[in-house]
Amino acid sequence: MVCQACGAAVVQGVAFCSQCGTQVLAPPAAYAGYPPPMPPMYLPSTRVQRHMQTLGILWCVFGGYRVLGGLIGMFFLKAMALRGFGDSRWGYGDGGPFGSHFMAALVPFIAVYTAVVVALAFFVGFSLLTRKPWGRTLAIVAGCLSLLKPIFGTALGIYTLWVLAPAASGDEYERIADRS
């Protein structure tokens, strides 16, 4: 006999399935000569499993977005600090207490910050796409940090925490990571 709910083999005369606990009904006598029904061909996917690929891709896209934003920010900061990349026609004077030298000194810090943030985003995307065991923890930390980046970062952080933060998601992620 076969359980009608999960498809597991059930011993004749048992009232409940040992796998899922569903009450087992004896087949009618009219179907006694037919083979038992096939078990399900697929396992229903869990929330983490359904969203893992999308989440990994979105983190990689977010890394590209941060590269673009950092490059544009450095470009405009350098243009303002050097008055048009060395052209004196901009005529802003000496720039006051926070003049061009102060602004030009910020460019390397912005470059390092951008590189770190981009590396983190790509690393989170890679760990989720390859189902690394530590990927969930890294994604939760990065999701909390990305909440501070308005619009895209906040949306990605909320989505990441919605998928990966619940305790049940941790169990699901461990099962997925163990299979990989």
Q: 70 and 22: one domain?
A: no
Q: How many domains does the chain have?
A: 2
pLDDT beyond 50 at 91: no
pLDDT, mean of residues 80-86 = 60
pLDDT beyond 60 at 92: no
Q: What is the pLDDT of residues 150-173, one digit of tens each?
A: 899 999 999 999 999 998 888 888
Pairwise pLDDT comparison (42 vs 85), residue with the higher score = 42
Confidence band of 44 (pLDDT split at 50, 70, 90): low
Alpha helices (runs of H) in 40-134, residue ranges in sequence order: 47-81, 100-129
Q: 32 and 98: one domain?
A: no
Q: 55 and 35: one domain?
A: no
Q: Which domain holds residue 78?
A: 47-179
Q: Are 98 and 105 in contact (CB under 8 A)?
A: no
Query: What are the CA-CA distances from residue 141 to residues 103, 127, 146, 162 (Å)?
Result: 31, 13, 9, 13
Pairwise pLDDT comparison (81 vs 95), residue with the higher score = 81
Give 74's strand partners. none
Find the helix packing angle between 135-146 and 47-81, rounded to 10°: 50
**Is the pTM for the entire model greater than 0.75?**
no
Q: Which two tokens stand for residue 114?
A: 């951008």
CA nearest to 126, candidates 58, 29, 77, 180: 58
pLDDT beyond 60 at 110: yes
Q: 160 and 118: one domain?
A: yes
Give dist(CA 74, CA 66) in Å, integer: 12
pLDDT, mean of residues 7-29 = 76
Q: 125 and 111: one domain?
A: yes
Q: 149 and 97: one domain?
A: yes
